[in-house]
Structure 1
Amino acid sequence: MGERTTPSGLVLVETLVNTFDVEAGRDALATPDGLEALMRAGDVALTADDMPAVVRLREALRAACAAHTGRAMPPRSAADLTDLLAEAPLTLHVDGATGNATLHPAAGLTGARALTARVAASIAAAEADGTWRRLKACEAESCRWAYYDHSPAGRRRWCSMQLCGARSKMRAYRAKRRTT
């Protein structure tokens, strides 16, 4: 069985969401290496002025990924994501050889707007091919890591059954034993 990876169109979204490690409280965007990795993944240059919009986008995307596990998306996060994506102009390109149409960020965008437009194009393509709903955020409150759900039924709840899933099941087991 081959290694299971996130579809290429969603790697940028997953990378952005995972720039914040909830459990460790570490924000990769606060380090030069972490920021450089995101800029490479998004093929965009970012500055300190872009960080508030990038963090807002990241947290709204995390909430959308959590909604893919059945958790209600907070209205503020939904509004933030809608507002940010609305400010990211896309253009439709039609391939002359195949006639296939794809969305791309509009020309001339820089910084956070360019990153947001790339994310918007990725989400649109993933929604069209049915992969968007499989990008999820771990149900564990102490984790919230983004992962791609490869399970046949698409009902995976944790980034790792061996870690977050096992912790959750052990907590539930102990709570049940305390009440009996």
Structure 2
Amino acid sequence: MESPATPHPLSLIEEFINTRGPDADGLSTRQQLQAWLAGRDLAPAGVTVDEAGLTRATSVREGLRALIAENNAPPVDSPRPDDLDPHARSDLAGLVAELPLVLDIGGPAPRLVPRPGLSVVDAALATLVAAVPPAVADGTWTRLKACREPSCRWAFYDHSRNRSRSWCSMGLCGNRAKGRAFYHRNQ
């Protein structure tokens, strides 16, 4: 059975975080970031991204990963290192201060939007960050989690009724953790 989709715009945050997986980084070049932003209508096709924009984007991504990791139980004991940057959350706070949002009251409902005059990359990052407060307000933010497997930390949306899902995949990461726990109990 296929799981329901993550609600938009949290799906954009989930996709953004998951551009870095355990084996590859989908935003390791300026061209990859350009394609990702254009592919999600966060920037026009052919936009130019500079190195500073790429650095900010990857820092925002890791800060968002650290934030959603707080929505889940702590990582399990593992011989694999936890690849969360311990400073990512505080780095995100500094970066968000440079991505100002303004209240747009011109549409059908007031909403936060990037301040005019930001670079294309900063406007896209501000758009992603602007999705957090409404998700907190409507209770969906705590359902966006990072896998408890330290070497994974993949973002996923917890559709379970009691919000208790811990793994991106029970068949993969959950089984690994449970197998390690079983092994250590029987040593």
Instruction: Read off the aligned partner of 2:102 and give its amino acid letter.
Output: T
The alignment status of 1:87 with 2:65, answered yes or no, reads: no
Q: Indicate the residue corresponding to 2:42 in structure 1.
A: 43
Deviations 1:88-140 (A, max 9, x none): 111212356x5x32111222322331122112211122112111111111011
- Equivalent of 1:64, from 62, 67, 73? 67
Partners of 2:33 and 2:118 in 1: CA distance: 22
- Equivalent of 1:123, from 116, 125, 132? 132
Tell whether the 8 Å contact from 1:15 to 1:41 is kept in structure 2 after alignment. Answer: no
**3-state DSSP of counterpart to 1:28:** coil
TM-score computed with the length of structure 1 as normaliser: 0.85
Deviation beyond 6 Å, 4+ runs, structure 1:
72-75
Instruction: Read off the aligned partner of 2:16 and give its amino acid letter.
Output: L
Partners of 1:75 and 1:143 in 2: CA distance: 16
Change (3 A) 1:121 1:3: same
Partners of 2:179 and 2:21 in 1: CA distance: 22
RMSD: 2.4
Instruction: Read off the aligned partner of 1:86 and give its amino acid letter.
Output: A
**3-state DSSP of counterpart to 1:162:** helix
Tell whether the 8 Å contact from 2:33 to 2:49 is kept in structure 1 after alignment. Answer: no
Instruction: Read off the aligned partner of 2:161 and give its amino acid letter.
Output: P
- Equivalent of 1:28, from 26, 29, 43? 26
Larger fraction in helix: 1
Which range moved further: 141-150 or 110-119?
110-119
Instruction: Read off the aligned partner of 1:8 and give its amino acid letter.
Output: H
Change (3 A) 1:88 1:110: same
Tell whether the 8 Å contact from 1:63 to 1:77 is kept in structure 2 after alignment. Answer: yes
Shift of 1:17: 0.7
Tell whether the 8 Å contact from 1:42 to 1:115 is kept in structure 2 after alignment. Answer: no
Q: Indicate the residue corresponding to 1:177 in structure 2.
A: 186
**3-state DSSP of counterpart to 1:19:** coil
Which range moved further: 57-66 or 34-43?
34-43
Shift of 1:82: 1.1
Partners of 2:33 and 2:58 in 1: CA distance: 13
**Where do 5+ consecutive residues of structure 1 fail to align?**
none
Shift of 1:3: 4.3
**Where do 5+ consecutive residues of structure 2 fail to align?**
76-83
Which range moved further: 44-53 or 153-162?
44-53
Instruction: Read off the aligned partner of 1:84 and give its amino acid letter.
Output: L
Which range moved further: 12-21 or 67-76?
67-76
**3-state DSSP of counterpart to 2:159:** coil
Instruction: Read off the aligned partner of 1:103 and give its amino acid letter.
Output: L
